[in-house]
Structure 1
């Protein structure tokens, strides 16, 4: 395996996902999204397909000493119409098969990112976001977009509209375990996506986020 990135303590490395990892990737997916509808979870079979469709866009984090796969991300290339950004997750990712991947697309779309609960708080999502942004630069794309899951929203949805919640997170008045991390990685909020997926932890909402490649004039 060729290491694409290392953590500062050299304990972890980002590599391109390989077929032997598929079952471990599925386990990470299930542990990361326990309340996501089962028909929207990515399976080992899906992950193997992703590696065939767009191998460069599939990243895994391994613990170097043990070889254990502990985090992963999935991306595809697409075209983005920012005036019609609302969509559903499964439609964007071809039912989790990445059949929507467009080799001529000029944006990278973040289909998935997950860190095994035993390895959270170690900066692994930062490693994966850095790898994704490096890929954007390497391919000369305009940037990276995703439908972020505001996973801290559920306890507040009776008192706050999703727009109010997101505004408070953006202003730093509230912390969201997903969106706050992405904002720190240089992403900005473009808009809200109702019925993005089926997960009560985020009220089924997605937040369309954008990171623009600073090396490319848009």
Structure 2
């Protein structure tokens, strides 16, 4: 199980930060984070339910982490194990994550798949998402599996959808010509896009597109 304590410094203030596995006692706080992170037009039914969160902590607790600042939960990240090869057919978020219930978790899977990562908007300048991502990279190494993988929303695409294709948009973001709130963050975390997924998730801002992005385990015996 994961538990890491450290200090964060921002604007002359020290914060005690903790990354740990979340538990049933944290469910209300985790749902509130979803409300703040994904306001309308993001569909409310895609916020976590307590049934989904219960599955996370029972089926694969190693893939369910949260981050605290001075004792307050301000972010979370959830993953499951799947079997994946780069030439596999397209998938949706609902298919690959069992609609967030992760009952399809494969204990012998070769890929740690990101179901969700969320950080309260008021705390996003502290690099908390990147810290949780790095914690999951450590889990990939510990499990000796091939990669961390997940579909990154492209919420900035809606501004350009009438001018360029999703592929062109992604290329411009990777080249640094455009910035996307999610894809640019994932690039800064060391993840690399391997393909686009159409109709990945009902998401007006992304026009339902997602960039499938991976981090390869550098220590894996291939």
TM-score range relative to shorter protein: over 0.9
When normalised by structure 2's length, the TM-score is: 0.92
Counterpart in the other structure of 1:11: 16
Change (3 A) 1:6 1:43: farther
RMSD after superposition:
1.6
Name whichever structure is richer in strand by fraction.
2
**Equivalent residue, structure 1, for 2:152:** 148
2:5 and 2:16 in contact (8 A); partners too: no
Aligned partner of 1:63 among 62, 65, 69: 69
Question: Which structure has the higher relative contact order (CA within 8 Å, separation 6+)?
Answer: 1
Alignment of 1:26-175 (within 5 A): 26-34=31-39, 35-64=41-70, 67-175=71-179
Return the alpha-carbon distance in structure 2 between the equivalents of residues 23 and 112 of structure 1. 16
Shift of 1:5: 4.9
- Aligned partner of 1:194 in structure 2 is 198
Contact 2:145 2:217 in 1 (8 A): yes
How far apart are 1:41 and its partner, in Å?
2.5
Q: 1:208 corresponds to which residue? A: 212
Runs of 4+ in structure 1 off by over 6 angstroms are: none
Q: Deviations over 1:189-208 (max 9, x none)?
A: 11110100111111111111
- Which secondary structure does the structure 2 equivalent of 1:167 belong to? helix
CA distance in 2, matches of 1:128, 1:153: 25
TM-score, length basis structure 1 = 0.94
**CA 1:204–1:5 in 2, change beyond 3 Å: closer, same or farther?**
farther
CA distance in 1, matches of 2:217, 2:112: 10
Gap runs ≥5 in structure 1? none
Q: Which structure 2 residue ranges, 5 or more long, are not aligned?
A: 10-14
**Cα separation, partners in 2 of 1:207 and 1:7, compared to 1, 3 Å:** farther
Q: Distance in 2 between matches of 1:150 and 1:85?
A: 21
